[in-house]
Chains A and B, each alone.
Chain A
Amino acid sequence: MKKHSYLSIVVVLLSFIGLSVLAQATAKNDLQLSVSYFNSNNKIQYLVAHTKCKIDGKFQLVPNVEISFYISNDSSATNLLGKATTNEKGEAVLMIPPAAKSEWVKSSKQNFEVVSKASALYDETKANTPVSKAKLKIETSDDKKITVTVLEQKDTAWTIVKGVELKVAIKRLDGDLNVNETQTFTTDSTGTISAEFKRDSLPGDLNGNLTLIAKVEDNDTYGNLTVEKVVPWGSKIQYSTGFDRRTLFARRGHSPIWLELLAYSIILAVWIILIHLLGQIKKIKKLGEGVIVEMKH
């Protein structure tokens, strides 16, 4: 009887472990969703949703997740801005469409919500970000001083904001280069920062133009703001090409002069000798014409 009791306990335990394993096998992963607001050069406003998931103790980016973007906290169909699917970086980008203008202008503060679509792997997940409308103003002077002002919309007026951290840089091909040694600036009581341009002789475009960029990054109140300005502070690029240079690796007709001189003089010298010898055959022929000689052999 006692033996049967032990057996029953073992069967129950095994059944419990088996169910747990089954339950684990079918459990969905927790999708972490976030959304950021961007105001690019005070012209283009867009949202970027980020998805990631912890698998085997490591965060991994999650592609191919359909994300719905809403203006305001109410994720109803009327507030839907649009949908986008995350790429291999786990990012889904949505430009705020002109159709949302009436909702957009209603208030100087907005809230954006993103909702990921439920799937076999992930449950529906939501995230939101509140945003106060703001913009940057950039000005430059002839002595290469840069002034950036942060302005926040309050009702219908734009007011200066102090204590905002921002970067001032020059746009380059693979990233932004700070205008001087200072990494970040913070706006003063006038809502502005001043930076001195100390990157002399930096190659610009054909006219020596550089693009300055001021940016506020991941600000809890304003999101991501940028503003750009083109300034003629770079050095003009002189495009030089080695295509026409005379090198050993150049195209036909562009061999180095020394090689041409050497090669052609050798070829000429040898072939002049050969042509001379052909002339000698002609001479021998001429000498033999009309000569009647008794042969020795």
Chain B
Amino acid sequence: MENSTIQKITDDLLPQKFGKQGKLWVAFLSILCVIGFIAYCRQVYKGLVVTSMRDYVSWGIYISNFVFFVAISLVGSLITAVLRLTNAEWSTPLTRIAEIIAVSAITFASIIIVVDMGRPDRFYNLFLHGRLQSPIIWDVIVITTYFFISLLLLYFPLLPDLQILLKYKEKTSKGLYKLYSFLGSFWKNTPEQEKISNRAINILSITIIPVAFSIHTVTSWLFATTYRPGWDSTNFGAYFISGAFLVGAGAVIVAMYVFRAHYNLEKYITDSHFDKMGKVLVLLALLYLYFNVNEFLVPAFKMKKSEEEHLMGLFTGEFAAVFWFAISTAMIIPILILVFKNGRKPFPAFIAGILVVIGSWFKRYLIVTPTLLHPFLPMHDVPANYKHYFPTWEEWAIAIGSLAGALLIITIFARIFPIIPIHETIIETEQHEKA
């Protein structure tokens, strides 16, 4: 392979300084994070009373956000592990995007749980007084484990790229150079090192799949092990996992489009990538739609009295607008867009990805809140506002701040590290040329 080609790939994929747009984007996200932090400080100072959560709805948009983050984090295992193990080489440029989405999402999933607790000092009680029988403890364990696996899966493939970054000392700041040195100065590309690294990546790719399935199954069990209309379902594990893969894949398509457009990566994230990811997204949307039909049609067919209020609230009642919006935007419209070849072009696929992500957030809200408003045994003599839930500005600010925080991690990561693996791209280009 010619040096000029290698040089071209390296130059194209090296992290670039923020331009005007990038700076504005970081400033915008930072402002949202600061507003969220101020709202959180108010919540810590005044207590959870600043939220709309009361005796009925004790899990509001914080937990919806948590479920959304956990769901989106599953993409790490889909793109990195499943596609790697199935030798889908086309996924190489997407692996790092998927992994950083997974790491940032799982980080904020953990943070939002502490926010939901009200008093942050209560977090250590989970470890001091947690019961092994409780799905909440299972969730704490699998989230921690998944976070470390995702971090390692991000780190190992980064090692060869760190060596390349260290080579371009003149293009990096002192601080970043120190960071690259700390993280990967020991990587010398020796066959032994490569062998160990490849083995580690394979081990991680295998390990992450059951852990990823566990993380979202356990999250679904937080609901399904509670006897309530809408949650009392044996379908929940599979229902959650299929939904998680869908939103994760949607997020990857959005990130692919943004990085491609912003960093001019058309040669690396090609139309073919959008086409393939579009097909994956259609498959996942159909799968999730199938589980949704199961989840709603079966109880609606029987329409047990206790479930009726909850289901009718979703279909035609208080939550109907949000419900049909979520079903349409997360599944039906993306399927209709992506099922056609032209719909799998970058821009339509990006729109479909955006719709999936937005629809999926509202879907998580619908899983959490309406059920809490319709318990089997309604409370008596509660204030009227207990029977409805609309988040306060503090809740919106914290939820939006956490989403902005996750985006900020991804943005800063892309500024510091190559968002497409340089070393792997060079190797694969070499292999293609030889073939």
Contact = CB atoms under 8 A, between A and B. Distances in A.
Contact of A270 (B129, B164, B200, B211): B211
B132 A259 contact: yes
Given A271-B145, A293-B190, A296-B189, A252 B203 contact: no
A270 B345 CA distance: 40
Nearest to A262: B132
B200 A277 contact: yes
Contacts of A256: 133
B426 to A, nearest CB: 6
Interface string B145-177: 100110010011001000110010000000000
Interface in A139-185: none
Contacts of B203: 273, 277
A127 to B, nearest CB: 43
Contacts of A284: 159, 186-187, 193, 196-197
Contacts of B133: 248-250, 255-256, 259
Interface residues of B, number: 38
Most chain B CB inside 10 Å of its own CB: which residue of A251, A267, A270 = A270
Interface in B201-226: 203-204, 207, 211
B188 A288 contact: yes
Given A270-B145, A273-B207, A295 B167 contact: yes
Contact of A287 (B10, B131, B190, B422): B190
B189 A295 contact: yes
A297 B10 contact: yes
B141 interface: yes
Given A270-B145, A270-B207, A273-B207, A293 B129 contact: no
A295 B169 CA distance: 14
Contacts of A17: none
Contacts of A293: 188-190
A286 B196 CA distance: 12
Main secondary structure of the interface of B (DSSP, over half): helix
B84 interface: no
Contacts of B132: 252, 255, 259-260, 263
A280 B200 contact: yes
A277 B188 contact: no
Contact of B152 (A267, A277, A286): A277
A291 to B, nearest CB: 4
B192 interface: yes
A252 B196 contact: no
A292 B189 CA distance: 10
B6 interface: yes
Most chain B CB inside 10 Å of its own CB: which residue of A252, A271, A287, A297 = A297
A285 interface: yes
A289 interface: yes
Contacts of B185: 288
B423 interface: yes
A297 B423 contact: yes
B422 A252 contact: no
A274 interface: yes
B308 to A, nearest CB: 30
A267 B197 contact: no
Interface string A253-266: 00110011001000
Contacts of A281: 155
B130 interface: yes
B41 to A, nearest CB: 32
A161 B204 CA distance: 95
Interface in B105-160: 129-133, 138, 141, 145, 148-149, 152, 155-156, 159
Interface of B: 6, 10, 129-133, 138, 141, 145, 148-149, 152, 155-156, 159, 163-164, 167, 185-190, 192-193, 196-197, 199-200, 203-204, 207, 211, 422-423, 426
Given A263-B138, A270-B211, A283-B196, 19 more contacts: A255-B131, A260-B132, A263-B141, A267-B141, A274-B145, A274-B148, A274-B152, A277-B204, A280-B196, A280-B200, A284-B159, A284-B187, A284-B193, A287-B186, A288-B187, A293-B190, A295-B189, A297-B6, A297-B167
30 contacts: A250-B131, A251-B131, A252-B129, A252-B130, A256-B133, A263-B132, A270-B211, A274-B145, A274-B148, A274-B149, A274-B152, A277-B200, A277-B203, A280-B196, A284-B159, A284-B187, A284-B193, A286-B186, A288-B187, A288-B190, A291-B190, A292-B188, A293-B188, A293-B189, A295-B163, A295-B164, A296-B189, A297-B6, A297-B164, A297-B423
